[in-house]
Amino acid sequence: MSLSRKRKKELHKLQKSATKLWEAQQVVMAGASDVAREAGRQLGHLNREQVAPVIDQKYHQYLEPVVDRVSPYVDSSRKASKHFLDHTVVPVVGGAVGKALSAIDAANEAGAKFVKRNAPEPKKKSSAGPIIALVLGIAAAGAVLYAAWQTLRADDELWVADDPLASPDA
């Protein structure tokens, strides 16, 4: 199917206007990036010059006296808690866990002796499980290799633009 000259001219005009619009958008985006970068820099300056000193002053004015007054009580309660945990809770919990583990080990040992005495040796069965797992593993490896080959092979139909300002063809 061939296009008339009039349609070709219209399409060519449309492509030129799309290219101009694309280039204008690229310029606008570059300008917006510069403005955002400068706004971030100015915000950092404002934070260092205005906000941080006020926060520092209010901390020293209101919170530091309270922290200094409460600090000895917090320290003594921390020491008392540590002493209670180290000398009361940990030994009790450790003893209980040790006794429970000893009981479990004894029960497992008695059960193992009982099973050995009363159970006949099981017959060896050949199953298809390992063979199926091997076949599935080989198939999965083949699929991965095929996907990698498809991804990395040279393809003449792929096109990557070198110029970021180039417009898409209509």
Residue 155: strand, helix, or coil: coil
Tell me how long the chain is.
170
Whether pTM > 0.85 for this model: the answer is: no
pLDDT at 50: 92
Least Cα distance to 163 among 30, 16, 26, 31 occurs for 26
Average pLDDT, the chain: 83
pLDDT tens digits, one per residue of 23-63: 999 999 989 989 999 999 999 999 999 999 999 999 899 98
pLDDT tens digits, one per residue of 72-103: 888 888 899 888 888 888 888 888 888 888 88
Residue for token pair 């017959």: 123
C-beta separation of 15 from 170 below 8 A: yes
Asked if residue 132 has pLDDT above 90, the reply is no
Measured CA distances, 147 to 138, 140, 143, 152, 160 (Å):
14, 11, 6, 9, 21
Q: Where does residue 18 rank: exposed (0-12), middle (13-18), buried (19+ CB within 10 A)?
A: middle
Spatial distance between the Cα atoms of 122 and 135, rounded to a whole number of angstroms = 27
Buried b (16+ CB within 10 A) or exposed e, 89-115: eeeeeeeeeeeeeeeeeeeeeeeeeee
State how far Cα 9 lies from the chain centre. 52
